Structure 1
Amino acid sequence: MRKFVKAKAKKMLKGGRSRSATPIESRSSTFTPEPGNAQQVSSTNQSLTITSKTVVDTLETTLNVLKEVSVFFPPLQAAVGGVIECIYIYKKVSGNTEALQVLAEDLVTKTKYLQMRLEQDDMEPSGMQSIKDLVGDLIKIYQDIKEQSNMGKISKILNQTEIGDKIESFKKRITQAYEDCKEQMLAKLGYSARAFYDTDKGSQYTRHRHCLEGTRAKILENIQHWAKSSSESTGYWIWGMAGTGKSTIAMSACNLFKKSKECALVASFFCSRQIEECRDYRTIIPTLAYQLARGFRRFAVVLRDIYNADPEIASKQPEEQVLKLLIEPWKAVLAFQNQRRVPVIVLDALDECTEVQRALKPLIAAIEEGKLAQIKFLFTSRPEQPIQLLLHSNEQLNMDIPSKVKVFELHGVEKDEVQKDINAYVTAELKSIATEKHLWELTELAGNLFIFAATVVKYVMGIKDPSPQLQRLEKALKENKHQELDQLYAGVLQDVLGKDFDKDEVDTRWNILHTMVALLQPMTCKGIAVMASSGEDTVRVLIEQLQAFCFISEKDKCVHTFHLSFTEYITRQNNEKNIVKN
């Protein structure tokens, strides 16, 4: 096995260069640990058991272990030898070896893992390249410190604080070198960094902001209570029609989890129909796995093993991805520790991801079956039927037990509470040009829709001159200008009416919509069916498909629309064929 590893290493080293311009083989021969130090670390017959006679003896033993675990790969052994010499250099000028001991023990763990990978026959060339780059980084660190030592810059330091700072800087450089090696291996997962909640996606894309301070306070308080409570459900699904502020709430929740002492944001995926990789269900699981690996070392170790055993895992079916990229690595985390802070994963705007149910179904199954224990999941989406079936019940999972996903209907929040938050928002944005009357008029027009208010604000503030801004505001209030809402309605109606139906079926559904709007008051599905000369089941299915804009009330069983703008939009359309076509 040792001959095989050496042969494989030699082949790889001849085949390419590291991140610096100097080949590894030539650089690895540019230094040799000092004779005295080499003698202290060269014995390969010493016991790997760390003794505890004294702090110094413990450090000596750990360094011997470190030297031995790197022996299978000569370039790494040489580089580690340089690191060991650096430790001895700092040991001579520091009376406290505790920090060096911690570093040495950490390096033993990291190097043992690399040793294990080098001994496996299936190690990918990319994995070897990562180790090769690590060797180059370690040698560079050694050369820098050796040069400082030869010039007497280290031995002349008498201030213990300054010595401590030097040791800390050395530790950070070494740790970063190993972290870079880990990052290169994880980068092969095919994750989407643009789906992280705090990624700057660029000015050409819609960027969600966090909630204005003081708004949505009760909702955010409920989310925090759910996250930190062991008695609460594992999942929390916030759903509501377009424009109710779901993504803004999700952003704020992420910020709160980041700052919390009781919860920890460990991963996020913000779907976006505007960005290809953020609307592809195939990137969801690898992206979550990548973030978990960055946060949990044991997760990363298992994940790298799984990837090296199956480099194509990121392109496999979601069921296998959930098992291999989430469940199995998470078992390793749970086997060694309970989490001091509750880990939380946030998945936003699921409805903006194509075929999201393919990734969501195995993920929800894992949650329901307790295979991702201790992790809390926060979901947000519109109430689209495939998502609703998975998150609202267990029918699709063939399970009879109650769901572990708590459901929160965002549009069910009391209108007065929403109006108060919307007024706070428009006041913050328009107070320099608008009167109190203007602000409350806009608030009332917005109803429960933050997007209505945001659309008007964007329209009004689209020019810099205050005078035209006021004119625009008054025009918007008079005309109920909401072009973006029209585009939103048209897009959803095209999805619902423009696919998989022949002309007669499309005409039937448009007739139902016009009937519902013409009634000017809520009516049951049966009543609408009679008025539209259609089947009750057809009406019910159409309403379910349009749950972003209308819903069947549990109280009176009648069909209600969320916002007057939808009724007005349907009324304005004189040629439904053109809407579907466009």
Structure 2
Amino acid sequence: MISTDSNERQKQLEDITKRGLQRVDEKQTRYMLFGRQFILKDQVAEAAKFVQNIKTLIDEAVKASPEASLAWAGVCILLPVLTSSSAAEEASRDGFIYVTSRIRYYMEFEHLLWPDSLHASNMKDTFETQIIGLYQHILEFQIKNVLRFYRNWLANVGRDISGSDDWKGMLTVIKDLELTMIRDWSNLNTVVSRKALEAIDEATQQSCTDIQSLLSITRQHIQVSTEHLDVSSKHLKIHERTNQLLEDHPIDLPTVSQARYDSADVQDSPKCESGTRVHIQETIIQWANKDSAEPLFWLSGPAGTGKSTIARTVADVLNSENRLVAGYFFKRGQQGRNGTARLFSTIAMQMMEKIPSMREHLRRSLSGLDKDAIEGMALEFQFKKLILGPLAELPPDNMPRLASVIILDALDECENEDHLSRIITLFIQLQNLRTIRLRVLLTSRSSPEIRDAFTDLQKDRDFCNIELLDGRFSSETKSDIQTFLENNFADIRKKRRVQQNPWPTQEELDRLVELATTPEPLFIYAATLCRFVHGEQRPKNPKEQLQIWLKQCDDRQSQLHQIYEPILNQVFSGLEPAEFDSRLRFLGSLVLLVDPMPAASLAALLQMDIDDVVWWLPELHAVLNIPAEDHIPVRLLHKSFSDFILSTERPGNSIYSIDTASTHTMLATKCLGHMNARLKRDICNIEKLGKRRKDIDERAVDKHISPDLKYACLYWIYHLQHGEQLMNSEIPTFIYTHLLHWVEVLAILGRLSDAAMVIRGLLEIFQIWVNY
């Protein structure tokens, strides 16, 4: 049964052919000769081929012999019979091999010979007919071969001799059809290729049109992008110029320059003598170097024990190692240095100089805030804006191996006592930073306000406290004071050419050391003693000065009394009562000033003879810093002097005691009288109203607003509030006549914000006076 499936039919044909070939082989006559197998049919065919190959040669040879010609004619008659069957067999086999290979070839490559893109029906039909014809002749050839396999030998020989199966002719037809088909296929592909090329050309032209359209759009986009780029470039340049201007323009913060570590006042103040206070300095440096140390170190002790001197010396050491990032040195009685309004801004300014990467973060944190806005902020907001916030934005990879240090010296001299605990609590927050390691060294007296501030921190162990009078340091301090006295007396002996040697004697030196260290070791005692013995401005006989000191020392008196009594006795002894009171009034005013003034300015405010003041004032060089230049303020060398002169608990002689409240009242009266006498409209002769402060010539301001008038305008309300009388006879005249003039002066001085606070304070005074 012939299958309808083409693949199955092919298998059936292969099977039939295989069996046919096997049958042919079985029908062939085989014989063995000398152990080798021969097929009779093949041998006859080969002999016939040999005779046929030499037939021409024999034809020529037998022409000379009739007998040979007769025999050869018989061979020639039988030769076609012998060769035709063999030739047919060979043609059948060769043709079968060829057509079989071609049919497989066309099966594999038919999809290539038949173009998918051919759409012309007449060409398609013609080509299809040729393919069918080729396949028909190939199949016909194969079928005849298969039939040949199944016929007997004699039948095939007969057909071969008669030429019924023209194998060569059929093969020639197949090859001719192939050539025709290939030629037509070539023509078809040429047509198809042309159409394809035309389609490609058309598509290319369309693509070109599209690309040109896109190119036009792209050019427009490029033009727009170029314009945007130009705009962006301009914006970038503006931004860069703005940043450059910001970089070039310093951040303007309200600072107290004299409170900085690098200020002249701090640098000119005493440092530890070489070889003294070594143990305490090493303890502080070890704390600063330790990885897991407390974030805050509190160095405490009474007045005169050398806390500030140690702080300045340690600051030098840390600064030499580039680890001191900021310092703030409080000082009572000096404007700015006695308060907290500019504490954090002064520290932030120094930190920005030491840590350049902090500048940009600080600028962003301020967001355009001006100096007045910053100064008016609460401490917590200042700390976050100026210090904590900018530091938190620093890159953490810049963190140094050793901690950086901030120094706050003499915190007890801050007059805002309610701010002390807040300051300490805020600085403790620095330990939470992950971008920089910071520690704070703080020095102060162990006052109740400060000790209470540290009480809450004890449970968390957030600070380390060392008391200078602690047993660990007292013996060292006594030894250091002796070293200090020996070195300074040796220097005095050299400068003043004292011939006595030793001077002072050992007994005198032992006595001085005992006085300086009993009951407490006070460096201020030793320092004041040396200044009393040898004054740089008005030097006296050092040997006589030392004897005066020793004679006036009384073990029954306090150490402060022993320090300052001999000095004041030398200035006030032998004076008439009026002169005595005048000098004491000047000295009391000097101690209570909010902001130090030059001696001439204070004399002008108190309406004293300046020539008289400059005559006797240098006698106090041991307790006052009296500059050679007249325009520089006079300052206390140590706060212990104000403690002594303002104390109301000193036993014995109290002729140098100053009543604080009455002195404040006197200063308030002097300030009001000064303003009533000198204030007027357009005091600086500006003439043009509404002129900006920065456009006013500073020389005109200094000329028309003297330091004493400036002080009176700024601090009269302070002294009035701290005086014994809230109302003053000068107040009505001031309010009715000069209130606006006073506001004008504050505006010129850039202190207009103070006016609101002063007026508020004045209203409170009026309210108290009305209720009273």
Amino acid at match of 1:455: T
Describe the superposition over 1:330-366 as per-residue Cα deviations: whole angstroms up to 9, x where unpaired: 1112544322332100010111121155265155245
Q: Does 1:316 align with 2:381?
A: no
Structure 2 residue runs of 5 or longer lacking an equivalent are 1-223, 554-561, 569-586, 593-638, 664-772
SS at match of 1:411: coil
Whether the 8 Å CA contact 2:301–2:445 is kept in 1: the answer is yes
Whether the 8 Å CA contact 2:259–2:330 is kept in 1: the answer is yes
Distance 1:275 1:356 in 2: 16
Whether the 8 Å CA contact 1:289–1:325 is kept in 2: the answer is yes
Q: Does 1:445 align with 2:522?
A: no
CA RMSD of aligned residues (A): 3.9
Distance 2:232 2:418 in 1: 46
Q: Does 1:457 align with 2:518?
A: no
SS at match of 1:333: coil
Distance 1:317 1:213 in 2: 42
Distance 1:358 1:366 in 2: 12
Whether the 8 Å CA contact 1:349–1:380 is kept in 2: the answer is yes
Q: Name the larger-Rg structure.
A: 2
User: Structure 2 residue aligned with 1:245, among 302, 306, 309?
Assistant: 306
Deviates most, 228-237 or 352-361: 352-361
Distance 1:568 1:325 in 2: 43
Matches within 5 A, 1:400-419: 401-413=459-471, 414-419=473-478
SS at match of 1:393: helix
Whether the 8 Å CA contact 2:388–2:430 is kept in 1: the answer is no
Q: CA deviation at 1:217?
A: 0.2
SS at match of 2:341: helix
Whether the 8 Å CA contact 2:311–2:407 is kept in 1: the answer is yes
Whether the 8 Å CA contact 1:319–1:359 is kept in 2: the answer is no
Describe the superposition over 1:166-206 as per-residue Cα deviations: whole angstroms up to 9, x where unpaired: xxxxxxxxxxxx5xx1xx432x210122111231139xxx9
Whether the 8 Å CA contact 1:281–1:359 is kept in 2: the answer is no
Distance 1:567 1:218 in 2: 36
Whether the 8 Å CA contact 2:271–2:313 is kept in 1: the answer is yes
Whether the 8 Å CA contact 2:383–2:426 is kept in 1: the answer is no
Distance 1:308 1:368 in 2: 23
Distance 2:566 2:397 in 1: 51
Q: CA deviation at 1:404?
A: 0.8
User: Structure 1 residue aligned with 2:548, among 462, 468, 475?
Assistant: 475
User: Structure 2 residue aligned with 1:376, among 433, 439, 442?
Assistant: 439
SS at match of 1:282: coil
Q: Does 1:429 align with 2:488?
A: yes
Q: CA deviation at 1:385?
A: 1.6
Distance 2:261 2:332 in 1: 15
Task: Give the match for residue 346 of structure 1.
Answer: 407
Distance 2:470 2:334 in 1: 30
Describe the superposition over 1:358-395 as per-residue Cα deviations: whole angstroms up to 9, x where unpaired: 265155245157334610100001112222212x321x
Task: Give the match for residue 521 of structure 1.
Answer: none
Distance 2:421 2:395 in 1: 23
Amino acid at match of 1:346: I
SS at match of 2:304: coil
Amino acid at match of 1:483: Y
Distance 1:218 1:208 in 2: 21
Q: Percent identity?
A: 25
Q: Does 1:72 align with 2:235?
A: yes
User: Structure 2 residue aligned with 1:393, among 438, 455, 461?
Assistant: 455
SS at match of 2:651: helix
Describe the superposition over 1:482-503 as per-residue Cα deviations: whole angstroms up to 9, x where unpaired: 217999xx99xx99xxxxxxxx
Distance 2:279 2:232 in 1: 55
Whether the 8 Å CA contact 1:185–1:304 is kept in 2: the answer is no
| TM-score (norm. length: structure 1) | 0.52
Distance 2:235 2:379 in 1: 37
Cα distance change, pair 210–400 in 1 and its aligned pair in 2 (3 A): closer
SS at match of 2:331: coil
Whether the 8 Å CA contact 2:430–2:438 is kept in 1: the answer is no
Cα distance change, pair 321–463 in 1 and its aligned pair in 2 (3 A): closer
Q: How many residues align?
A: 341
Whether the 8 Å CA contact 1:349–1:382 is kept in 2: the answer is yes
Amino acid at match of 1:72: H
Amino acid at match of 2:516: A
Distance 2:658 2:355 in 1: 54
Whether the 8 Å CA contact 2:330–2:411 is kept in 1: the answer is yes
Distance 2:546 2:344 in 1: 44
Cα distance change, pair 403–579 in 1 and its aligned pair in 2 (3 A): same
Q: CA deviation at 1:296?
A: 1.8
Whether the 8 Å CA contact 1:237–1:379 is kept in 2: the answer is yes
Matches within 5 A, 1:43-58: none
Describe the superposition over 1:216-268 as per-residue Cα deviations: whole angstroms up to 9, x where unpaired: 000000000000101211100001110000000000000110123xx700000
Cα distance change, pair 463–251 in 1 and its aligned pair in 2 (3 A): closer
Q: Does 1:299 align with 2:462?
A: no
Describe the superposition over 1:408-456 as per-residue Cα deviations: whole angstroms up to 9, x where unpaired: 1012244331111111111111121532423222111101011111111
Q: CA deviation at 1:464?
A: 7.8
Distance 1:468 1:422 in 2: 23
Cα distance change, pair 482–276 in 1 and its aligned pair in 2 (3 A): same
Task: Give the match for residue 55 of structure 1.
Answer: none
Distance 1:194 1:485 in 2: 31
SS at match of 2:394: helix
Distance 1:468 1:485 in 2: 15
Deviates most, 311-320 or 247-256: 311-320
User: Structure 1 residue aligned with 2:274, among 213, 217, 237?
Assistant: 213
Task: Give the match for residue 108 of structure 1.
Answer: none
Amino acid at match of 2:467: E
SS at match of 1:303: helix
Task: Give the match for residue 257 of structure 1.
Answer: 318
Distance 1:567 1:222 in 2: 37
Cα distance change, pair 336–445 in 1 and its aligned pair in 2 (3 A): same
> Which of 1 and 2 has higher RCO (CA within 8 Å, sep 6+)?
1
Task: Give the match for residue 570 of structure 1.
Answer: 651
Cα distance change, pair 72–388 in 1 and its aligned pair in 2 (3 A): same
Task: Give the match for residue 288 of structure 2.
Answer: 227
Amino acid at match of 2:651: I
Q: CA deviation at 1:466?
A: 8.3
Whether the 8 Å CA contact 2:296–2:441 is kept in 1: the answer is yes
Whether the 8 Å CA contact 2:549–2:566 is kept in 1: the answer is no
Task: Give the match for residue 195 of structure 1.
Answer: 259
Whether the 8 Å CA contact 2:427–2:440 is kept in 1: the answer is no
Q: CA deviation at 1:313?
A: 2.6
Cα distance change, pair 578–324 in 1 and its aligned pair in 2 (3 A): closer
SS at match of 2:535: coil
Whether the 8 Å CA contact 2:420–2:449 is kept in 1: the answer is no
Amino acid at match of 1:198: D
Task: Give the match for residue 288 of structure 1.
Answer: 347
Distance 1:573 1:442 in 2: 24
Task: Give the match for residue 14 of structure 1.
Answer: none
Whether the 8 Å CA contact 2:325–2:405 is kept in 1: the answer is yes
Distance 2:286 2:413 in 1: 27
Task: Give the match for residue 269 of structure 1.
Answer: 328
Distance 1:253 1:293 in 2: 21
